[in-house]
A and B are shown apart, each in its own frame.
Chain A
Amino acid sequence: MAINESAILKSELRWTLVVAGIVTIILGAILFAALSMHINPPSNREYVDPKTVHLSSEFTEANLGTSIDPNGRVVGRMITTQFQFIPSCIVVPAETDVTLRFTSPDVIHGLLVTGTNVNTMVVPGYVAQVHTRFTKTGDLLMPCHEYCGLGHSQMLATVKVVPPELFKPDAQGRANCGDYR
């Protein structure tokens, strides 16, 4: 049976063009989101010594949770450790730019905040940082999504998003979940 080589070549070229078109559409959509909506993968490169995290100036116990930084930005700090988030709840205002910072003293953890695009790995030795803006209020579940040991499935926290007018940090610029029940 005769095999029409030119017909095969033609259909392969056509298919290549279709695939190139699809890749262009997807890359275009990603570029559009990155440039016009500031949606990017979190790509912070910042080191911290995992052995002395609890003694570091930033991740001491008293400094964990939500606080207002000197530049006015709302920052939530958490330590992810086997098998809990410390603290287990942070409160943030809706419709406000928020920075979330995490680190781990033991093994690799991961986290996501349900219903949002917040999603990052937390690697010992590094500070994972996510900038975001929550649009809906309520208690959002934040589970560990990287298997970290036998208690992994019990490791979860809550992000309490409150209306911006109700978000009232104390005199030191700190806010706790317990004050927003």
Chain B
Amino acid sequence: MTEPAYPRSRHDYSNDAEELSALESAMDSTPRGAAIVSAIAVGLLLLAWLAIYFGVFLPRGTVG
């Protein structure tokens, strides 16, 4: 039975400098992707709030 060609865990990279630097560069760009996803999610939430506030709530008129 032969060993699989792909690494079984992150620690398998530890002895391979080239793989390690590839992983580091991938991990460098990960936070940017997460920031973009959360910015889109929060932006959509804010837009929905503003749309309901100005499109539904305010036109319904005064109350107090």
**Which partner residue on chain A sits nearest B62 by CB separation?**
A38
13 CB-based A-B contacts, threshold 8 Å: A7-B31, A11-B31, A25-B50, A29-B54, A37-B62, A39-B61, A39-B63, A42-B64, A43-B64, A116-B60, A117-B57, A131-B64, A132-B63
Instruction: Please give the distance in Å from B21's CB to the nearest CB on chain A.
Output: 10
Interface residues as binary, A10-30 with B (CB distance below 8 Å gives 1, 0 otherwise): 010001001000100110010
Q: Which residues of A contact B (CB under 8 A)?
A: 1-2, 7, 11, 15, 18, 22, 25-26, 29, 33, 37-43, 115-119, 130-135
Instruction: Please give the distance in Å from A26's CB to the nearest CB on chain B.
Output: 7
Contact B64 A116 (CB under 8 A): no
Assembled-state Cα–Cα distance A33/B62 (Å): 9
Contact B46 A130 (CB under 8 A): no
Contact A116 B27 (CB under 8 A): no
B57: A residues at CB distance < 8 A: 33, 39, 117
- From B23, B27, B39, B62, give the contact of A133 (CB < 8 A): B62
Instruction: Please give the distance in Å from A140's CB to the nearest CB on chain B.
Output: 11
B35: A residues at CB distance < 8 A: 11, 15
- From B38, B46, B58, give the contact of A39 (CB < 8 A): B58
**Which partner residue on chain A sits nearest B35 by CB separation?**
A11
Contacts A1-B23, A11-B31, A22-B42 given; does A39 touch B49 at CB 8 Å: no
B interface residues, how many (CB within 8 angstroms): 20
Instruction: Please give the distance in Å from B6's CB to the nearest CB on chain A.
Output: 19
B24 touches A (CB below 8 Å): yes
Tell me what chain B mostly uses at the interface: helix, strand, loop, or mixed.
helix
Assembled-state Cα–Cα distance A35/B27 (Å): 49
Contacts A22-B46, A25-B46, A29-B50 given; does A42 touch B63 at CB 8 Å: yes
**Which partner residue on chain A sits nearest B63 by CB separation?**
A117
B62: A residues at CB distance < 8 A: 37-39, 117, 131-133
Assembled-state Cα–Cα distance A11/B61 (Å): 41
Assembled-state Cα–Cα distance A131/B64 (Å): 5
Extra A-B contacts (7), CB below 8 Å, given A15-B35, A39-B62: A18-B39, A25-B46, A26-B49, A42-B64, A115-B60, A116-B63, A117-B60
Contact A1 B27 (CB under 8 A): yes
Complex interface residues of chain B between 40 and 64 (CB less than 8 A to chain A): 42, 46, 49-50, 53-54, 57-58, 60-64
